[in-house]
C-alpha cells in the first residue's frame, strides 16, 4: 500500500506543477493545450489510484464486519 501512496503523491505533485504552468501568463495556446492534456492524464491517474484505495478500504471493512458477525 505504501507504493500506491507514493505514486499518488507523485502524480498529485505533477498535476499541481502542471496547473501552476497553466496559470502562467507566458505560455502559448499550443502549450496550454498540451499542458491541459497532460493535466487530464495526471488527474485520471490520481482518480484511478484513489478508486483502488477506496476498493481496498471497502474490502477491509467487509472483512472486519464478517469477523465481528462470526464472533457473535
Kindly tell me if the per-residue pLDDT of 67 is higher than 80.
no
pLDDT > 90 in the chain, percent: 76
CA 42 to chain centre: 8
Domain count, the chain: 1
Give the global pTM.
0.78
User: What integer best gives the mean pLDDT of the chain?
Assistant: 91
Cα angle at 47 between 8 and 44, to 5 degrees? 100
The alpha-helical segments, DSSP class H, found in 1-72 are 2-23, 29-71
Q: Which domain holds residue 18?
A: 2-71
- Residue 43 confidence class, pLDDT cut points 50, 70, 90: very high
CATH number of the domain enclosing 30: 1.10.287
- The three-state secondary structure class of 72 is coil
Amino acid at each position: 500500500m505504501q507504493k500506491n501512496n507514493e505514486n499518488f503523491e507523485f502524480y498529485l505533485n505533477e498535476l499541481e506543477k502542471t496547473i501552476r504552468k497553466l496559470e502562467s501568463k507566458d505560455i502559448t495556446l499550443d502549450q496550454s493545450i498540451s499542458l491541459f492534456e497532460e493535466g487530464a492524464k495526471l488527474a485520471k491517474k490520481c482518480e484511478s489510484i484513489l478508486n483502488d484505495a477506496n476498493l481496498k478500504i471497502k474490502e477491509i471493512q467487509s472483512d472486519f464486519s464478517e469477523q465481528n458477525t462470526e464472533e457473535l
